[in-house]
Amino acid sequence: MNALTAAKNKLEEGEKIVQIMQITVYVNSEPDFTKQPKIADFASEYFCEELGESGVGSRAAVGVAVLPGEAPVEIAVIAGVGSIKY
């Protein structure tokens, strides 16, 4: 998933993601579509698969009229970072 890859690419040497604090899932959707949380479930499951218990944080799912580049979904991540202990 691009959001996790983008977050990992911002880490300095010796750092790692220790906790997903929050994810916000923006879903490009019609006004009568109300299943944004179901789509956000996929993001939550992915973070848990990749990071285990550290992938569990608070989550919001938001329906929007348009996203940049006509993307169907955009995810914002706030992650806690810690040092790798050798």
pLDDT tens-place string over residues 19-72 = 999 999 999 999 999 999 999 999 999 999 999 999 999 999 999 999 999 999
pLDDT at 26: 98
pLDDT at 85: 79
pLDDT at 61: 97
Q: Other C-beta atoms within 10 Å of 71: how many?
A: 13
Q: Is 75 exposed, middle or buried (0-12, 13-18, 19+ CB in 10 A)?
A: buried
| Domain 2-83 CATH assignment equals 3.50.7.10 | no
pLDDT at 8: 92
d(C-alpha 16, C-alpha 19), whole Å: 9
pLDDT at 2: 86
pLDDT at 57: 92
d(C-alpha 46, C-alpha 84), whole Å: 22
The residue with greater pLDDT, 2 or 26, is: 26
d(C-alpha 43, C-alpha 4), whole Å: 10
d(C-alpha 6, C-alpha 70), whole Å: 19
